[in-house]
Amino acid sequence: MSYMGQDAGVRGSARRRPRLLDQVRQCMRVRHYSLRTEQAYVAWIRRFILANHKRHPREMGGAEVERFLTSLAVEGQVAAGTQNQALAALLFLYKEVLKQELPWMENVVRAKRPRRLPVVLTRDEVHRLLAQLEGRDWLMAGLLYGAGLRMMECLRLRVKDVDFARHAITVRQGKGNKDRLVPLPRTLSGAIEDQMAAARLLHRSDLAAGFGAVHLPHALARKYPNAAREWGWQYVFPATHRSPDPRSGVERRHHLHETVLQRAVKAARKRAGIDKPATCHTMRHSFATHLMEDGHDIRTVQELLGHKDVATTQIYTHVLNRPGLGVLSPLDRA
């Protein structure tokens, strides 16, 4: 019997508790986990249950978790980050949902974490790529490079967080649920104003049609009932069409889907004749590398990128034009 659809503790009873995966979702929403994290955790928990012949997790423990994680590394050959995500999902299930502590899993075979340098474009390549984009796509790609935004940070940007007077953008709830301040490129100010004007017309048409309420984080919608319809909370890059909210089912206008920007950047890279496997995130890597080439200290770059540990930022010191201590090749000396 599958325990993903039924709770073992109430079999044969007319009174049923929420299904296990629904309990997981409820616990994650109470703790304000993102929708992406929720979907990933639920998928791993479902996969864990199926791998153990649909046994309820209460009937299992550390041994089964160790075996599952080891199989991911040995048989599945997954990346270290993937294995860590699966572990985090199962730890959340046992600790927060089932209220059980798992023993320390010292026998898990760990996936190897290879040390790879990020793909970085030269300044010329960045300009060539941007030259192949127009309008909204050019603006979004420009923000990835000009402000060092992650792709989803750009797509989730709200009107109120763009400060034209200070030439700054406030990134809300970035990775690790942290806010940070990044520069608003003056080159893009006019284009953002034009984009906001188009978004405002769309918002007014939604209001006239009885819609216009955007998704608000956490419990702000209950605390400020009218805020969802205010212009400041709207997305700078709204979706073309309204769609049901994946959690509540309420029809509203979300931000653009990430595939819109991903496809635009991929197509622009090909048209520009750039052979490097550049993606949206490559623009952020290039932002950091070029800042350090210009002499900005690593702590400043760390703050702009929103890295928790400076060791994460140090990777960009290895892709500078003058790696290490400015070593000159002996062939050049000859």
Q: Bridge-partner residues for 180, per DSSP?
A: 171
Helices (H) and strands (E) in the chain, counts: 14, 5
Distance CA 212, CA 202 (A): 9
The catalytic site residues sit at 150, 175, 281, 284, 307, 316
DSSP state for residue 229 in the 8-state scheme? G
| Sequence-separated (6 or more) residues with CB below 8 Å from residue 322 | none
Positions in the chain whose pLDDT score sits under 50: 1, 6-14, 323-325
pLDDT at residue 238, as a whole number: 97
Q: In this predicted structure, what is the pLDDT of residue 218?
A: 72
Q: What span, in angstroms and rounded, lies between the C-alpha atoms of 77 and 182?
A: 38
- For residue 114, the model assigns a pLDDT of 65
Q: What is the pLDDT of residue 328?
A: 55
Q: What's the CATH code, domain 8-97?
A: 1.10.150.130
Q: What is the pLDDT of residues 40-78, one digit of tens each?
A: 999 999 999 999 999 999 999 888 999 999 999 888 888
Please state which of the four CATH numbers 1.10.443.10, 1.10.357.10, 1.10.10.10, 3.30.70.1380 is assigned to the domain occupying 123-318: 1.10.443.10
Alpha-carbon gap, residue 261 to 251, rounded angstroms: 23
- CA 172, CA 290: separation in Å to the nearest integer? 24
| Equal CATH topology for 8-97 and 123-318 | no
Do residues 100 and 90 touch, judged by C-beta distance below 8 A? Answer: no
- What is the SS3 assignment for 227? helix
- Domains of the chain, by residue range, sit at 8-97, 123-318
Residue 8's pLDDT is: 47
Structure tokens at 327: 């070593």
